[in-house]
Amino acid sequence: MPGTSKSANLDKQVESLLGGMPILNLRDVSMPNRPFPAGPLSGIRVLDLSRVLTGPFCSMILADLGAEVVKVEEPGSGDQTRTVPPFVEGESHYYMAINRNKQSIVVNLKTDEGREIILGLAEKSDIVLENFRPGVMARLGLAYEVLQKRKPDLIICSITGFGQESSMADVPSFDLVTQALSGIMSINGEADGPPTKMGVPMGDVGGGMWAAIAVLAALQHRTATGKGLHVDLSLLDGLVGLLGYLAEMYLVTGESPGRVGSAHHSIVPYGRYPVKDGHIVLALHVGPFWRKFCQAVGRADLIDNSKFKTTAYRQENREELEAIVTEILAEKTASEWGDFLRAADIPSSPVLNVGEALNQPAIEERGLIKDTAHPVAGKVRVVGSPIQYSGNFTEEAYAPSALLGQHTKAVLSGLLDYDNERINQLFSDGVVE
């Protein structure tokens, strides 16, 4: 049977890898009560037409909260992130990181039959998520007006670089471009260095979070009115929205803030400082912490020093104060300062690398790292959802990212009631994979 070879015996493989942990049977989408993900969005179905990062990050948030996500991928290679190294047994780390708890189907949207499949799935969904360029959905015969006519309470979320209607609507955009255009790069980096992009692709992941918020608000609107909404999300808007007080600084002064490295534009001491064996950060955000620090390090004289008595004075005399703090901190190692400052209730930390961050006790205690059992890659650990609900939704099992087209047959039969003959013909015609 076409479409069945990739999914044969997957349950047994997954059960063996997980050592008896509960698993998801995402292929059986016709089941009235899916065992997991269980969460506040259980019963909500998302048809995910998005690719790469922003849209998939949004749909993963929704999936982790219990929504059923049907991810549509293009024939051949699927989502572009499936080709990004490094790989585990041929499976991309990138794809696995942002596509857990989803079903994968392969549909050729450029065929009439493929479009009919998408329209049929949209009718059975609560949310359609897409991040094509403006106009592409219309050219595919999947415009908002078409989808809304088929299902008036459908929520459609369109994510683009610059919005559906703008002078830049047709301009190609990626995270790096929006970081540059948003002003984020201009304030990121050392004061004497060049503009630098953020290490995290904040335009994309921030856009995914904005999209999730918008979709959840649209669901509440639908509950209240019975009507769907079209969410028009611009990644540029999203990053500008994250500028926060730095945007306001320009709006009230007319001057753009510059780069201050790991320091703060207004608060001193606040930033990264060298120690004997590396770096620590010190965040003396309010007066009480400044006074605690001075007392702890034996420099109570600084508390009443007229140059450093208030936040404004400490900012005004930044250079002198930073030199004093740097000299004090150079006396100990990061570990020594960590223990000392924590005991004194002073907000500080050594600067950890990614591995150290993921393996620190606080992360383990919160259970943030989850085990999944991928049918090809084997046991794969992933960063789970940071959203936790006390005392609820305690049954937990994370489904790994799906193989390309792993659920095509099951979705067609389970959601659209296509019979085997029709499904086989669609496989033969190259409409689905």
pLDDT digits (tens, 9 = 90+) for 87-128: 999 999 999 999 999 999 999 999 999 999 999 999 999 999
> Which residues of the chain are in CATH 3.40.50.10540 domains?
5-242+366-428
Amino acid letter, residue 424: N
The residue whose two tokens read 């992941």 is 205
To the nearest 10°, the Cα dihedral for 225, 229, 235, 238? -10
Measured CA to CA, the distance from residue 175 to residue 292 in angstroms comes to 41
Mean pLDDT of 318-322: 93
- Residue 419's pLDDT is 94
pLDDT above 70 as % of the chain = 90
Selected from 3.40.50.300, 3.90.1150.10, 3.30.1230.10, 3.40.50.10540, the CATH number assigned to the domain covering 5-242+366-428 reads: 3.40.50.10540
Q: Which of 204, 232, 277, 301 is catalytic?
A: 204
Does the pLDDT of residue 146 top 60, yes or no? yes
pLDDT average, residue stretch 216-234: 96
Q: What is the DSSP letter of 88?
A: E
pLDDT at 24 over 70: no
Using one digit for the tens of pLDDT, what is the confidence trace for 51-85? 999 999 999 999 999 999 999 999 999 999 999 99
**What pLDDT, on the 0 to 100 scale, is given for residue 405?**
93
Q: Which two tokens stand for residue 306?
A: 């007229």
Start and end residues for every CATH 3.30.1540.10 domain found in the chain:
270-352
Best CA proximity match to 348, nearest among 407, 271, 254: 271
Q: How far apart are CA 167 and CA 180, in angstroms?
A: 17
pLDDT higher at 178 or 3 = 178
Give CA–CA dist 352/171, Å, rounded. Answer: 38
Is 204 annotated as catalytic? yes
d(CA 92, CA 348): 36
The 10 Å Cβ neighbour count of residue 37 is 27
Cis peptide before 2 (omega within 30 of 0): no
**Tokens for 209?**
């979070």
The Cα 111–Cα 140 span in angstroms is 9
20: tokens are 């008896």
Angle at 38 between CA 34 and CA 41, to 5 degrees: 100
Residues 247-305: tens digit of each pLDDT: 999 999 999 999 999 989 889 999 999 999 999 999 998 889 999 999 999 999 999 99
Handedness of CA 24, 43, 213, 208 (dihedral sign): positive
Q: Give residue 259's pLDDT.
A: 93
Instruction: State the Cα–Cα distance between residues 27 and 14, nearest whole angstrom.
Output: 13
Element (H, E) at 36: none
DSSP 331: T
* Cα–chain center distance at 290: 35
| The Cα angle at residue 25 between residues 429 and 216, in degrees rounded to 5 | 90
Q: In 3D, which of 380, 78, 104, 56 has the Cα closest to residue 201? A: 56
The helix (H) or strand (E) run that includes residue 417 is none
Fold observed for domain 270-352: formyl-coa transferase, domain 3 (3.30.1540)
Provide the pLDDT for residue 393: 64
Specify the range with the lowest mean pLDDT, choosing from 10-14, 20-24, 306-310. Answer: 20-24
Confidence at residue 395, expressed as pLDDT on a 0 to 100 scale:
58
